[in-house]
C-alpha cells in the first residue's frame, strides 16, 4: 500500500485530487491511502517522518504554495518522495521547474493525466534500484 499526501488549502481541491486518482488506480500498486495536509508544516512533518510515498501539492495554496514546499522537500529531506505540482494554467509549467517537482499537472485536474503521473512515479519509486555493474578483475 502506498500513501499519497494531498496538500491544498481548499478542501474541494483535495477532494478533486483524491477522486481523480481513486483508491485503486493500478492493481500492481494495490490500494492507495490518502493523507490530507492543509498547511506547509504538516506537509514537511509528514514527509520528514516517511508518511508519504508521493506528494500532490497545490501551487495555488496559501500561505505556503506547493512550489516552495516541493523545493523545500527536495532540498531538505533525504530520499524525498516524488512531488506532483498542480498549477493554475498550463503556461505556468515553466515556473514549476524552480520547484524541482517530478511532474506538473494543470488545473482543472484531469483524472486520466493525474492518475497516469501518480502511477508512473509510484512505480518508479517502488522499483528496485539498478545494481551497479562490477568490472571484471584483471
Q: Where are the domains of the chain?
A: 2-126
CA distances to 9, 17, 80 from 13, in Å? 8, 6, 23
Q: What is residue 107's predicted lDDT score, i.e. its pLDDT?
A: 87
Which cell goes with 72? 523545500
Q: Which CATH architecture has domain 2-126?
A: 3-Layer(aba) Sandwich (3.40)
Q: How confident is the model at residue 131, as a pLDDT?
A: 57
Contact status, residue 66 vs residue 103, Cβ threshold 8 Å = no
Query: What is the C-alpha radius of gyration for the chain, rounded to an integer number of angstroms?
Result: 16
Query: What is the pLDDT, as a whole number, of residue 129?
Result: 62
SS3 of residue 104 by DSSP: strand
One digit per residue, the tens of pLDDT, for the chain of length 138 reads 899 999 999 999 999 999 999 999 999 999 999 999 999 999 999 999 999 999 999 999 999 999 999 999 999 999 999 999 999 887 777 777 899 999 999 988 889 999 999 999 999 998 876 655 555 555
Asked whether 9 and 61 are in contact (CB, 8 A), the reply is yes
CB atoms closer than 10 angstroms to residue 129: 5
Amino acid at each position: 500500500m502506498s500513501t499519497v499526501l494531498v496538500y491544498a488549502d481548499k478542501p474541494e481541491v483535495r477532494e478533486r485530487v483524491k477522486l481523480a486518482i481513486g483508491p485503486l488506480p493500478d492493481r500492481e500498486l494495490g490500494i492507495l491511502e490518502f493523507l490530507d495536509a492543509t498547511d506547509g508544516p504538516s506537509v514537511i512533518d509528514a514527509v520528514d517522518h516517511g508518511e508519504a510515498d508521493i506528494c500532490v501539492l497545490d501551487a495555488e495554496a496559501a500561505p505556503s504554495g506547493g512550489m516552495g514546499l516541493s523545493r523545500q522537500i527536495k532540498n531538505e529531506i533525504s530520499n524525498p518522495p516524488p512531488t506532483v505540482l498542480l498549477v493554475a494554467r498550463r503556461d505556468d509549467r515553466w515556473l514549476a521547474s524552480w520547484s524541482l517537482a517530478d511532474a506538473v499537472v494543470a488545473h482543472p485536474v484531469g483524472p486520466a493525466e493525474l492518475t497516469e503521473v501518480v502511477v508512473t512515479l509510484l512505480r518508479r519509486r517502488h522499483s528496485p534500484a539498478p545494481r551497479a555493474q562490477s568490472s571484471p578483475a584483471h
